[in-house]
Each structure stands twice: as structure tokens, then as C-alpha cells.
Structure 1
Amino acid sequence: MSAGGAFGGNRGARPVPPEKGVFPLDHLHECDLAKKEYIACLKSSGYQSEKCRHLSKKYLECRMERNLMAKQDLSELGFLKDRGTATSEESTSGGCVLIRESINT
């Protein structure tokens, strides 16, 4: 027999959760409406996510407000900072503005 346990792991080591990528499930369905709106948008747009970015942002904001994920600046999650109103290029490009700016510099 091995001293590491039935599946070969070290029994004394404690698991360490990842910093990002895993967050609590929405057991109380607090953000279901935002999630359903986003999924409906994806289906109606042929799964072109850039057309549904505003709903994706709304869903992430809902999760942050209800402590279902760590609060984080949305610009770090791929959303441009609000500048009053979105430009037509920003609202239709789905975040490509940031990519072009970084390529040109």
C-alpha cells in the first residue's frame, strides 16, 4: 500500500483555490435574468458574442454587486472604460479598439 492515499495524492496537503477563473455558483439565482438575456442574445445573433457584450457586462456587474465574484475594474475584463457615451466604433467592434491601439503603438 502507498502512504499517499487511495488515489495517490498527498493526504496532508491542503488544496489552494485559484485566484481567478473559479467563483461561487449563483445558488439563489440572483443574476438569472441577466444570464438569460445574454444567452437569448447569443442565440438570436448566431452566437456572435460581440453583439451581446453589453449584456455580458451587465451579467458580470450583477455578479460583482452580489459578491459572486471579486470586484474588478471592467477594463481588466476586456470592456472599455465608460466615456459618457460609447462611440459607434466601440459599440460595434466588441473591444477591438484596444487591440488596434496596442498593435499601432
Structure 2
Amino acid sequence: MSAGGAFGGNRGARPVPPEKGVFPLDHMHQCDLEKKDYIGCLKSSGHQSENCRIFSKKYLECRMAKNLMAKQDLSELGFRNERDLENLREENNGRIENGS
């Protein structure tokens, strides 16, 4: 018989939560409007999440403002400011025009 717990787990070890991906549920429905806007956008765009980034950003900003998730720079979550996006577009257009 194994010295570990059920399914090979160690009964004495303390669980460690993941760094990202798990955060408190919105039991008080503080960000329902933002969530509904995002889900509505997904449905109307054929579930193309790229088309709904602004709603996703607003939802995450609401969650951070209401302490439903840790506050962090949105650039760490895949959002860039408009100036960065414009520079990226210009770089990509230059590569396409130059054949790179």
C-alpha cells in the first residue's frame, strides 16, 4: 500500500493555488453588465474573441476595481495601449511591403 493519500496525493502537503486563472466568483453580481456585454459580443461575432477585446478589457477592469482579482497592468494580460498597437501595425505593414 502506498504511503500517499488517495489517488497518490500527499495528505500532509498544503495545496498551493495557481498564480493566475482562479479568482473569486462575482457572487454579488458587481460586474454583470460588463460580463453580459462581453458574452453578447461573442454571440453576435460568431465567438470570435478578437472582435470583443474591448468588452473583455472592461470586464477585467471591473473585476480589478471591485477587488475580484488582483490588480495588474493590462499589458500583462495581453492588452496593449493604442500607440503600441499602431506601431505594431506600421511594423507589420513595412514587412509586408518589403517582402520580409
TM-score grouping bracket, smaller chain normalisation = 0.7 to 0.9
The residue number in structure 2 matching 1:36 is: 36
Per-residue deviation, 1:5:
3.3
| TM-score (norm: length of structure 2) | 0.75
* Deviation >6 Å, runs of 4+: none
User: What is the root-mean-square deviation of aligned Cα atoms in Å?
Assistant: 2.7
The residue number in structure 2 matching 1:61 is: 61
The residue number in structure 1 matching 2:98 is: none
Per-residue deviation, 1:74:
0.7
Residue by residue over 1:21-72, the C-alpha shift from the partner in whole angstroms, topping out at 9 and shown as x without a partner, is 1111111111111001100011111111121111100000000001111101
Per-residue deviation, 1:2:
4.5
Answering whether residue 42 of structure 2 is matched by residue 78 of structure 1, we say: no
Amino acid at match of 1:15: P
| TM-score (norm: length of structure 1) | 0.72
Rg (Cα) greater in structure: 2
DSSP-derived class of the 2:8 partner: coil
> What is the total number of aligned residue pairs between the two structures?
92
Cα distance in 1 for partners of 2:42, 2:56 equals: 10
Name the % identity: 78
